[in-house]
Amino acid sequence: MKEKNERICPVENAGNLDNIFRKWVHNPKKLLKDYVKEGMIALDVGCGPGLFSIEMAKMVGKTGKVIAADLQEGMLKKVENKIIGTEIEKRIKLHQCEKNKIGISEKVDFVLAFYMIHEVPNQMNFFKEIKSMLKTNGKMFIIEPMFHVSKNAFEDTINIAKEAGLKRSKKEKVLFSRAIILEN
């Protein structure tokens, strides 16, 4: 199987990932309300500057936890700077991924992969690792940008996820995006 192009959004562009317009277009609370609940352990893989991680930390409450995982230390530093000294600081665990591995052994209830799978060089390995960390009936929400990912490429990604053992659960509508819920 051929590997995908490696193109990771640089830390210098983090402002494009977390601004008032994006919060309005891709409101984390609205997008995640059916999937992230009190007490859950959620993983925001490719968390960038933390737009979704921070909202998920509010949603999981004091008994839950969010793992904000990113390949780039600079992105994790941006998340850390936002949460330091806040009530949600204790709910968010920052985790730096390795180049070809997320590297989390903890079982999670929910995984968010927002606008990042098209940047993953080996999607089969990625989905196998996600499957190994998802609890039984755990869900993964994949959202990819329409302007980068064609309908065929998105279907290819879903097929790879299915080959790795994840099941299609439900298509979602997300502005300017292709989106689906997968289940373990």
Report the DSSP beta bridge partners of residue 142: 113, 180
The model's pLDDT over 42-99, given as tens digits with 9 standing for 90+, comes to 999 999 999 999 999 999 999 999 999 999 999 999 999 999 999 999 999 999 999 8
pLDDT for 128 equals 98
Q: How far lies 114's CA from each of 31, 71, 90, 111, in Å?
A: 11, 14, 23, 10
Beta strand residue intervals within 50-107, DSSP E: 65-70, 92-96
Q: Indicate the average pLDDT of the chain.
A: 90
pLDDT for 146 equals 94
Question: Average pLDDT for residues 137-158, to the nearest whole number?
Answer: 96
Is CATH 3.40.50.2000 the right assignment for the domain spanning 34-183?
no
Q: Which of 5, 20, 11, 32 is nearest to 172 (CA)?
A: 32
pLDDT for 33 equals 97
Torsion sign, CA atoms 49, 96, 108, 178: positive
Above pLDDT 90, what percent of the chain? Answer: 83
pTM score of the predicted model: 0.90
pLDDT for 99 equals 86
